[in-house]
Structure 1
Amino acid sequence: MFLSRWLPGLANLLHYRREWFHADLQAGLSVAAIQIPIAIAYAQIVGLPPQYGLYACVLPMMVYALIGSSRQLMVGPDAATCAMIAGAVAPLALGEPHRIAELSVIVTLLVGVMLIAAGVARAGFIASFFSRPILIGYLNGIGLSLIAGQLSKVVGFKIEGDGFILSLINFFQRLGEIHWVTLLIGLAALGLLIWLPRRYPRLPAALTVVALFMLLVGLFGLDRFGVAILGPVPAGIPQLAWPHSNLAEMKSLLRDALGIATVSFCSAMLTARSFAARHGYAINANHEFVALGVSNLAAGVSQGFAISGADSRTAVNDMVGGKSQLVGIIAALVIALILLFFTAPMAWIPQAALGAVLLMAGWGLIDIKSLGHIRRLSRFEFWLCLLTTVAVLSLGVLPGIVFAVTLAILRLLYSIYQPTDAVLGWLPGTEGQVDIRKHKDARTVPGLVVYRFDDAILFFNADYFKMRLLEAVQSQDQPKAVLFDAEAVTSIDVSGIAALREVRDTLAAQGINFSIARARGTFLRMLVRSGMAREMEDKLLFGSVRAGIRAYRVWRNRSRSAKVAGEG
């Protein structure tokens, strides 16, 4: 029970089936083949030497394989989180490589602690605040930023300028400085990265391209012609260490770590849930917080940087047919062997080939197709998606995301502030009630206004509810009673209760009875706590609209009888 709850990966491996091994071995080798060149390239986004990208793979992949609940998810360096790390550490490191490495580790450890704390606090619901349009807009912004930042590797000159727009301006101003051999390598690598997956989908395109151009540079000595190469890569697995820092740096990095933790978790959850649904099992978001947090701690202490769910490597694992978390362990061991014995040839990898890999990674983050789909469904969410992209490019990653989420929450509050409502009637041949404003031939009960409010009644929309209900009553001819259909009112607060009382008293002053139908959940509990349920008594609280209408008709017939008797 303990293992299945806290170490589901280990529990799965303890019940491992021998027939899975061949598929897991093939998937592990395939994932490692994809992970190695991508990790080397992503380390350069952060500003670190290539070996640090591999460090961020070995221990985290093993840890997640034991703790994670997803049988398909592969963790590792991610373009979005790497871009955020670079933005967090660059202002403090001032271009010093050893400081970039130390600060990256600190950020990673902070991210790990925050993720674990969020999991313990059962904060898995946070993923719901990142709607799909916001995530698409965010990834589009990250993709464009990544492309702009990696153009220099392909054209052979360093692009100056802070931010997306200034980088592009500087790029176009300096086109005359292009190093043509570097550009040729970059374009050839890009072409192969596009063609190989279409022609040979099972071939690790990134590894193949990097290995091919590494061989060409080594054989023909292209570095003598000004082609930038990766340079020596130290051999050996990372040493476990704890970074040195001070309180001022920690405070500065806390905000960025929070943003990286949030984005890392949401990205990983999207990937994990997608593949879990495909294979018929569920993912526990709170446990994934902890699993991803511990994996980030493992990345930090092994001199790596923050990691997330790697969608491309997860897709490769699934495509090849990986059956269990053993795939991650096999991939990690392969990468460790590369670090120990095969780092020397990496020195000849041309920067242009790595730049091409990163350009493809950036392009892979951009989702134009979904933009069109979102536009057809919702104009607001389409513009929210575009604004998120613009905000990420202009304000930065974390401020851009905060801006987008704030805008979405304001939109939600506005929709709650002015929700839809209706005066209900009945249409022959139609089951249930309809809005008489949309169906002019709908029938109503003479003298009775059946009103529905389609959301919670809270402090910011209580006055709006009161205004709309009274307007609905005034629009009807000689109303005698109001039946409030409260089925859609999921919640009500103190201000809402006060508004209900004011509505009841205002109607009573006009000789109009007020009753409620289908009160349930929090709304009903608040009616009971406030004493309003006792004040209204059972004859004014009904379990259904029909029961309320029957009671109204009985009351109306009695009133008529009493009136006739009085006149007699």
Structure 2
Amino acid sequence: MPFPRLIAFMPGLEQLANYQSQWWQDDVRAGLSVAAVALPVAIAYAQLTGVNAAVGLYSCVLPMLVYALFGTSRQLIVGPDAATCAVIAAVVTPLAGGDSLKHWQLVMTMTVMTGFWCLVASRFRLGVMADFLSKPILMGLLNGVAITIIVGQLSKIFGFSFEKGYLIERLLNVPGALTRTHWPTLMISAVTVLVFVLLKRFRPGWPASMCVLALAGLLVWLFNLQQLGIVTVGEVRSGLPSFQAPAFDLGIARELVMPALNLAMVSFVSMMLTARSFAAKNGYDIDADKEFRALGFANIASALSQGFAISGADSRTAVNDANGGKSQLVSVLAALLIALVALFFTAPLAFIPSAALGVVLVVASLSLIDIKAVWHLRSRDRSAFLLALTTLFAVLFIGVIPGITLAVLLGLFQFLLTVTRPTDQVLGLDAKGVIRSMDDTDKAKSIPGVFIYRFNSPLTYFNATYFKRRLLERFVRESEPVDCIIIDAVPSFTHLDLSVMAMLGDLQQLLKKRGVRLVMAGRKRQLLSWFEQAGLPTGEGGILVRPDLYLALKMNQAYKQALAEGQAPLVQKIKEDELALTHSHL
């Protein structure tokens, strides 16, 4: 295909250029279904973010078109997301101070910053961050965000207002707030819930969210329910978005930098979980670094069209896949349909009651809650359970942004703990002469006079001391005398680190005084080069280096046998062979 650089930069072009005609019917059906689900959700999430309903529509159109060009997933649908919008609202609302225009400008600025961080991460190939926040941490985070959203929407569903801004205070305030329930608003909420449940029960293929919002808006319009004090969306601008340049001081902008970084990371991890699951289901791979770039461009496109931050939308992606969507043309079609509504059909949106939107948000948030899965971690992996629980309570007790920050730190600490305190094994031989770990099954037996050690992490300056301590601790537990220690160098010696070299020098001198030979098995050429640079002695009287574990065992056995039989010439010959083998570059 021509223009390979352009295709590498915009992977979606290749898929569109190679589009197969038999996909068209499925993609059209999926595009209509995605638009039907995305429209009401976009309006509801705009309310959650604290901006006009039209902004929710703007946040769908251009980002979906951009992702269709830059993304590598064929099924993923991007757009407003409950967790993303909750984070933005938590950051921006205190800074805006009740000024709606400033609030909108701050939302756009945070969206641009989020996109910028995604592009920086893509440039430095940090797609590996998709694995950085472990699944238990993300589970706790999403559960906490969902509960926070649900509690926040109670005021819209019951028609009262919370006096407190934090979750725990709001929960404590609920009994008193219920006495201020606005009954007409509660009736609209009840009708919305009832219709939603009936549709899910008897018409599961219908877009329930769109139907209930349409019905609620129709009731308000027919019976002029606004006179009863029912709050509605209000006027929704039609047409293309008008550009609004941010007008605030840099001091406030600085407050958005780190929250935008947190938001970029959480959005990307959440998006990748969705993208990877559907890619695996449909039999293809995605590129994490290109996905980071696509998310960055989509967020910047959202800000330029006056929208807010977006992420991968799991519910809309599931709708796409369920309706047989085959390509990113689904995103293009859905975006065009939403654009038509934003340009010409926004007038009916003004009658949608806020209570109905609150119900839609609660329903969407309920899909994020999976306390049962968190609880099941308790029996399968207790450390994972504690991570999920800690993140969950952090979001609930100290807020969304501090909770996300703590989740990021927990992910970092979890990684550092894995690297600095990895598992290790003592190796032996089984009945067939195969080297394997020694465990409770007793399939492998220790080799007389030989101690074989494996450290399951790359050695670096912050775990070198632990490596030495673990090796010596296991070594002194040996019941039989040991005169040779063999270290499996393959998993642990991956790069040159002078601190590690210094530790090995100390270890070799310590073992030499005890009459123990230190042998490194594997990565022969690299180790010889690194030892030479570090000034470590090799060969007889120094660290012996062997190509692999089996040859290390064979040569040690030959040396000991010759020594035991008192064959001085043979011992000398073996020493010379060892010296030659150590310094050869086979």
What amino acid is aligned across from residue 474 of structure 1 in structure 2? V
Instruction: Report what 1:139 is aligned to.
Output: 142
Instruction: Report what 1:67 is aligned to.
Output: 70
What amino acid is aligned across from residue 543 of structure 1 in structure 2? P
Q: Please state how far the C-alpha of 1:431 moved relative to its aligned partner.
A: 4.6
* Cα distance change, pair 59–481 in 1 and its aligned pair in 2 (3 A): closer
Instruction: Report what 1:448 is aligned to.
Output: 450
Map 1:68-467 onto structure 2 (within 5 A): 68-428=71-431, 431-435=434-438, 438=440, 443-467=445-469
CA separation in 2, counterparts of 1:81 and 1:521? Answer: 50
Which among 46, 51, 63 is matched to residue 49 of structure 2?
A: 46
- Unpaired segments of 5 or more residues in structure 2? 570-586
| SS at 1:481 equivalent | strand
Q: Please state how far the C-alpha of 1:381 moved relative to its aligned partner.
A: 0.7
What amino acid is aligned across from residue 123 of structure 1 in structure 2? L
CA separation in 2, counterparts of 1:533 and 1:448? Answer: 21
CA separation in 2, counterparts of 1:563 and 1:499? Answer: 35
Retained in 2: the 8 A contact 1:527–1:533? Answer: yes
Instruction: Report what 2:549 is aligned to.
Output: 545
* Cα distance change, pair 299–450 in 1 and its aligned pair in 2 (3 A): closer
Q: Please state how far the C-alpha of 1:264 moved relative to its aligned partner.
A: 1.9
Instruction: Report what 2:575 is aligned to.
Output: none
Instruction: Report what 2:578 is aligned to.
Output: none
What amino acid is aligned across from residue 544 of structure 1 in structure 2? D
2:465 corresponds to 1:470:
no
CA separation in 1, counterparts of 2:301 and 2:316? Answer: 19
CA separation in 1, counterparts of 2:432 and 2:190? Answer: 66
Instruction: Report what 1:555 is aligned to.
Output: 559
Q: Please state how far the C-alpha of 1:203 moved relative to its aligned partner.
A: 0.8
Retained in 2: the 8 A contact 1:489–1:523? Answer: no
Instruction: Report what 1:503 is aligned to.
Output: 507
* Cα distance change, pair 435–155 in 1 and its aligned pair in 2 (3 A): same
- Unpaired segments of 5 or more residues in structure 1? none
CA separation in 1, counterparts of 2:250 and 2:525? Answer: 48
Query: TM-score, length-normalised on structure 1?
Result: 0.92
What amino acid is aligned across from residue 504 of structure 2 in structure 1? L
Q: Please state how far the C-alpha of 1:490 moved relative to its aligned partner.
A: 4.4
Could you report, residue by residue, the CA deviation over 1:367-419 in whole angstroms, capped at 9, with x for unpaired residues?
22421443332101111011111112223333222323323433443344343
CA separation in 1, counterparts of 2:339 and 2:394? Answer: 39
| SS at 1:433 equivalent | strand
CA separation in 2, counterparts of 1:522 and 1:162? Answer: 59
Q: Please state how far the C-alpha of 1:274 moved relative to its aligned partner.
A: 1.7
State the Cα RMSD in Å.
Answer: 2.5
Q: Which moved more, 1:117-126 or 1:487-496?
A: 487-496
* Cα distance change, pair 504–186 in 1 and its aligned pair in 2 (3 A): same
State how many pairs are aligned: 564
* Cα distance change, pair 25–464 in 1 and its aligned pair in 2 (3 A): closer
| SS at 1:482 equivalent | strand
Q: Please state how far the C-alpha of 1:265 moved relative to its aligned partner.
A: 1.8
* Cα distance change, pair 32–473 in 1 and its aligned pair in 2 (3 A): closer
* Cα distance change, pair 348–521 in 1 and its aligned pair in 2 (3 A): farther
Q: Please state how far the C-alpha of 1:525 moved relative to its aligned partner.
A: 5.5
| SS at 1:185 equivalent | helix
What amino acid is aligned across from residue 555 of structure 2 in structure 1? A
CA separation in 2, counterparts of 1:334 and 1:257? Answer: 30
Retained in 2: the 8 A contact 1:65–1:326? Answer: yes
Could you report, residue by residue, the CA deviation over 1:130-180 in whole angstroms, capped at 9, with x for unpaired residues?
111111111111101100111111101111212111111112222211122
CA separation in 1, counterparts of 2:27 and 2:121? Answer: 32
CA separation in 1, counterparts of 2:262 and 2:175? Answer: 32
| SS at 1:322 equivalent | coil
Retained in 1: the 8 A contact 2:49–2:88? Answer: yes
* Cα distance change, pair 335–520 in 1 and its aligned pair in 2 (3 A): farther
CA separation in 2, counterparts of 1:509 and 1:533? Answer: 15
What amino acid is aligned across from residue 462 of structure 1 in structure 2? A
CA separation in 2, counterparts of 1:442 and 1:266? Answer: 41
Query: TM-score, length-normalised on structure 2?
Result: 0.90
2:5 corresponds to 1:13:
no
